[in-house]
Amino acid sequence: MNLPESSRSAPGARREILITSEHDVIQARTGAKRMADETGFSIPDSVKIATVVSELARNIVVYAQKGRVEFEVFRTPRVGIEIVAVDDGPGIADVAHVLSGKYRSRTGMGLGLVGSKRLVDEFSVDSAPGKGTRVVARKYVVPR
């Protein structure tokens, strides 16, 4: 789901934040909300984007201790934001089970990925034990 160069937005409409602490989670959430607002998302959709970034960044802190979150505006075929969260943590053995909503982790409610998936238009998880995790989410601007 990486964006082709021709669909990327103007310089400055991309952020990458190293995630190692709760402070970084807050910084990522705030930056994503600001970018969504500036891109033309409604207030509820801007909050959804910020929530997804926060959940994915928090998962990095809890499960992998270190990773990164990127978010970028794209303009083709429609205007939206792509969020990519990557870590080299322990990975997820059964992604389908986690995304089914039936999984509960020992460290949380287990709804971070499922809840994030419900808040965006496109969502994918690439993960395997010992290989880390890469999550890609997209949300499109709804024309007003």
Q: For 29-80, write each residue's pLDDT tens digit.
A: 999 999 999 999 999 999 999 999 999 999 999 999 999 999 999 998 899 9
Q: For residue 3, tell me if it sits in a domain.
A: no
Q: For 72-84, write each residue's pLDDT tens digit.
A: 999 988 999 999 9
Q: For residue 1, tell me if it sits in a domain.
A: no
Q: What is the residue range of 94's domain?
A: 13-140
Q: For residue 110, tell me if it sits in a domain.
A: yes
Query: Model-level pTM?
Result: 0.88
- Tell me the CATH number at 74: 3.30.565.10
Rounded distance between C-alpha atoms, residue 38 and residue 80, angstroms: 11
Q: For residue 117, tell me if it sits in a domain.
A: yes
CA 81 to chain centre: 10
99 band by pLDDT with thresholds 50, 70 and 90: confident
With a CB cutoff of 8 Å and minimum separation 6, the contacts of 124 are 1, 135, 136, 137
Q: For residue 2, tell me if it sits in a domain.
A: no
